[in-house]
């Protein structure tokens, strides 16, 4: 039978693999040193705040480490991650223009790809400004003086 610290080590490694993070990424997310996370994984005593931060970095409920150390199972976080403040732009997978642009961009080296995208964005912004100006023409000279 595996000892509690070995089991904690194995399950935390398995969890890190599941969520696609290494020790450094777990530590960075928890705002702690890799040494502290290493000690936590080895079953060494840590304070409650540290335990909570590392548990959440592993996407486990607080108390999962203790459960593992006592022969139980960790509990994955039940909460869903918050929605991003700015939702990602819509993606239209069936848009032939988007597919064509993407195909061309993929042939370019990264630096050229960025430059092309910058120019396209600048051009699109200018077209939007022009369209907006055409929709809301400036007030006649007499009206501007009266205001």
Backbone φ and ψ of 20, nearest 5°: 70, 40
- CATH for the 4-69 domain, from 1.10.10, 1.10.3470, 2.60.40, 1.10.260: 1.10.260
The DSSP bridge partners found for residue 60 are: 76
| Greatest extent of the chain over all pairs of C-alpha atoms, in Å | 90
Q: How far apart are CA 23 and CA 51, in angstroms?
A: 15
| The predicted structure's pLDDT at residue 4 | 85
Q: How far apart are CA 60 and CA 141, in angstroms?
A: 66
Model confidence, pTM: 0.52
Which residue from 99, 117, 97, 119 is spatially nearest to 108, judged by alpha carbons? Answer: 117
| The predicted structure's pLDDT at residue 85 | 60
| The predicted structure's pLDDT at residue 145 | 56
| The predicted structure's pLDDT at residue 134 | 77
| The predicted structure's pLDDT at residue 40 | 95
Q: How far apart are CA 48 and CA 69, in angstroms?
A: 15
Q: Which helix (H) or strand (E) holds 123?
A: helix 110-135
Print pLDDT tens along the chain (147 aa). 567 889 999 999 999 999 999 999 999 999 999 999 999 999 999 999 999 999 999 999 999 999 999 999 999 987 545 555 665 566 556 778 877 888 888 888 888 888 988 898 899 889 888 887 777 655 566 555 555
| The predicted structure's pLDDT at residue 25 | 93
């Amino acid at each position: 039978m595996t000892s509690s610290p070995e089991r904690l080590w194995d399950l935390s490694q398995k969890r890190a693999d599941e969520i696609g993070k290494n020790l450094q990424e777990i530590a960075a997310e928890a705002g702690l040193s890799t040494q502290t996370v290493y000690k936590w994984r080895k079953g060494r005593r840590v304070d409650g705040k540290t335990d909570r931060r590392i548990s959440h970095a592993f996407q486990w409920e607080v108390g999962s480490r203790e459960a593992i150390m006592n022969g139980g199972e960790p509990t994955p976080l039940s909460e869903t991650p918050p929605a991003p403040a700015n939702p990602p732009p819509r993606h239209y997978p069936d848009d032939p223009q988007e597919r064509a642009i993407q195909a061309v961009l993929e042939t370019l080296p990264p630096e050229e790809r960025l430059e092309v995208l910058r120019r396209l964005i600048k051009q699109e912004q200018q077209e939007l400004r022009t369209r907006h100006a055409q929709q809301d023409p400036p007030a006649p000279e007499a009206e501007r003086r009266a205001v």
